[in-house]
A and B are shown apart, each in its own frame.
Chain A
Amino acid sequence: MTKSAAVLRLAGRRLAASLPALLGVVVFTFVLMRVLPGDPAVFFASGPSAGQKEIEDIRHQMGLDRSIPVQLAFYLRDIGTGSLGHSMTTGQPVLKDLEERLPASLELTFAALVLALGLAIPMGVLAALNPGSTTDHAVRFLCTLGVCVPTFVSGLLLIYVFYYLAGIAPDPTGRIDIFASQPPSHTGFLVIDSLIAGDFDAARSAASQLVLPAVTMALFVLAPLARMTRASMLAVLGSDFIRTARAMGLSRGRIVFVYALRNAALPVLTIAGIVFSTMLGANVLVEKVFSWPGVAAYALDALLATDYAPVQGFVLLMAVIFVFVNLLVDVLYGLADPRVNAA
């Protein structure tokens, strides 16, 4: 059997296996939202002149006047027909909101992850090569600092220094300069869309808007990535085949980068997958601080307003992404270590 066919089969099986879990997530979120205190109909009818009748109307409009099992049945049917309901907070269909906002979150998370990996792997390798050295301690210090400082503090600090004081960063509001025109959407990634449109000003603007939030997020996830690289490298460097390689007189560079790093990559990959999924959903503070129109901030706003549909849609989206990221990590596993079978 060819490799690609094996990968496809794995993907198919894994996706099918994830369906019950996704269903569980949907039902759980659905019920959880409804047992939370607070009546959304009252919240949304809180206009200056809304009385009991308006509250009832909204309850009916949101379908909340039916029993929970009936509501759930309707919701599942809607999901089946590709609808995630309407957001009361934005007034738009949830699916449309998520479609518009997911690329923003993805763009930011990718940039942050690439940045974080680009820093964390060399740092981890350097620390592992000289355990106990000054370099090792410096890396540990940086990682601790990154984890200790909450993202909204580092974000606001970066804004204060680079935007307010130094004036080098653009104003930290959204994905592109508000006065610039947006490129036509192809991928949803503004930097790429701008390049496709040949609008280099817009591309530069979008890229420069990305720097501060990406750095903020990267700092926060530096620690797990660097620490995992270090630990994994240490284990591999102490193993028999490295000793053999050394004894055979292979060059240091070849030993470290070809033999050691490739073998040490597996746990780092796993962590990177988890870090990616977490960043995507949990970086609400970064999105808030930088007015980044992402999915996490969207879900939080909805949650505060007891707006059920967006929260449910968001959780479902995150679950689906988690499934795909795990699948991708498993496929990459096979590439990093041929012994790990696609099975």
Chain B
Amino acid sequence: MSGLARHLGVCAAILLMASPHAQAQTRAETLRQVTGNTVNTLDPNLPGSTREAFGMSMNVYDRLVSFERKPNGKGFIFDFDHLRPELAKSYEISPDGLTITFKLRPDATWHDGTPVTADDIKWSLDRVVSAKSLGPPQMQTGSLTSSSQFTIIDPMTVQVKLDKPDRLALPNLATVYAIMVNSKVARAHATDDDPWALQWLKDHEAGSGAYTVENFKPGENTILRRSETWKGSKDGSLPFFKRVIQQTVPEAATRANLLAKGDADISIDLQSSDVLEIEKAGKLKVISTPQFNAFTMVAFNTKVKPFDNLKVRQAITAALPYEDMFKAAIFGRGAKLFGADWTTSPPTGLFPQPMPAHTDLVAAKQLLTEAGFPDGFDTSFTYSVSSAQINDPVAALIKESLGKIGVRVDVQKVPDAQFGTLITEKKLAMFTDTAISWMASTDYFFRNFFTGNQRWNYASWNNQELVDTAQAARFEPDPVKYEVLAKKLITITAAEAPEAFLWQPSQDAVVLPTIEGYTYWFHRQVDYRDMSRK
């Protein structure tokens, strides 16, 4: 009997030794994020990529450079003004601002163990400006348009040439799309129809980032495993978490339950009502960051009557019940973009910033009369179904407030796909949406959201002075002169009132109390590389 017992004991010991090997990570070394959405492609350049796919790619792929981050409240925010080398060892910008030279890390390797070469970097840069994907239109905002701009100087050096000293060239190389790809692997899977291996890289990764993809099931989960050879961090250290699970849990209440039970570690898309409860209960950490690269607004279609009339736009801007909406729609969780007290010129050139709009029904009525609408008019106010939780109260308050000055509002709630189509085709009179920009740069905001004939020029606004100023600002290297131009852009917009600015909603990240290091990134997703467990 004792022999058998000893035998069993040995077996148990072997099992005990074997099990940590089979399951190399403990629960503590695994981060579990629950989200309502899903990663639908591993290559963020693919049209139709979800925001989660953008965020995932930050963890799997390195870029040449990365934004720094700075402490903010209980967490961190990304620092648009400071960049650091990531896959590059160092970079140098020539005095005239026309040449950026990247030195590569001699010790950097791809996930398959082969070294990172200048060939790979050149191929990856060519890919992001050439492939039929989301990359080229973004890169073009930083004057990166053609593969002829990228040259290999020596096996460890790549140079980027610019026509003009574009202030957004380098930041663009830190954005989601500018992934550095193992070109030998990718080229092996390229075809004549698909020279940049877009199809293959959709389901496979060939990067050098902090994590490799262990399991990729769109609609269910994506599981990452730490790459032990990663060199891209600021101080050369590896991320804390050895394994990361991003799981799709469609029901927001279930996500909140999972966090409350401690079974999930982080969620950034809980319902505001749940977040309020969680904050009150005080058992979980809520990191609330106003999305400073976003703005929520009411847009007026300046191409159609009566919103082609400046006085009408000013009247509506003065009639919106800002404070009430701020409280009812987002429970005051965010930064206000109204109620500033400057009149001619803003205090800084930063955008978005609070605009000098106040609720003043008397002035609104007066403006409306001057515009030739003493009895008001009929119009519509549209928003998307997915934003209904926020915009149902907004619509009700706007309808009530505008009713007081005689403007009769027909509230329309439409499915998201239809909403996007209506905006693109410029068929809406007045609507609300939230605009987000990866580049927290004033001229970029104005060029994207207030010029041109595309979806993002919500107000279909065409103001030559603004267009010229924005273009001048883009290529202005002197920060003092840039500030002057930026202020001018804001002043013109405040005077012309193409849109009424409401607020920057907060992003609420709910994490277990032991989880540290959450950063609000420009892509508004979780960067797992920054995070750790106490």
Interface set of A (CB-CB < 8 Å, partner B)? 37-40, 42-55, 57-58, 61, 88-92, 97, 100-101, 156, 159-160, 163-164, 167, 171-174, 178-179, 288-291, 293, 297-298, 301, 304-306
Contacts and interface: CB of A to CB of B under 8 A. Distances in A.
Nearest to A57: B132
Contact of B257 (A44, A100, A159, A305): A159
A47 B251 contact: no
B153 interface: no
Contacts of B263: 171
Contact of A301 (B47, B219, B261, B417): B219
B134 A50 contact: yes
Contacts of A55: 424
B421 A42 contact: yes
Given A49-B138, A91-B46, A173-B247, A38 B437 contact: no
Nearest to B253: A156
B251 A43 contact: no
Contacts of B260: 164
A90 B38 contact: yes
A171 B258 contact: yes
Contact of A39 (B245, B424, B448): B424
Contact of A54 (B134, B219, B418): B134
5 contacts: A38-B421, A40-B417, A57-B47, A88-B48, A89-B218
A39 B47 contact: no
Contacts, number: 145
What 7 A-B pairs are tightest by C-beta distance, nearest first?
A: A38-B417, A90-B218, A44-B48, A38-B418, A306-B417, A49-B138, A43-B417
The size class of the interface chain B forms with chain A is 35 or more
Contacts of B421: 37-39, 42-43
A41 B269 CA distance: 26
A37 B418 contact: yes
Given A42-B420, A297-B250, A304-B415, 5 more contacts: A39-B421, A45-B48, A163-B261, A167-B261, A171-B261
B420 A58 contact: no
A210 B27 CA distance: 23
A209 B421 CA distance: 40
Contacts of A47: 47, 49, 134
A279 B59 CA distance: 39
Interface in B205-221: 217-221
Interface in B483-517: none
Query: Most chain-B CB neighbours within 10 Å: which of A44, A47, A101, A304?
Result: A47
Given A40-B417, A42-B421, A50-B137, A174 B247 contact: yes
Contacts of B257: 159-160, 163-164, 172
A320 B264 CA distance: 39
A97 B54 CA distance: 22
A43 B420 contact: yes
Contacts of A49: 134, 137-138, 141, 448
A6 to B, nearest CB: 43
Contacts of A156: 251, 253-254
Interface string B305-348: 00000000000000000000000000000000000000000000
Contact of B424 (A42, A101, A298): A42
B455 interface: yes
Interface string B414-431: 111110110010000000
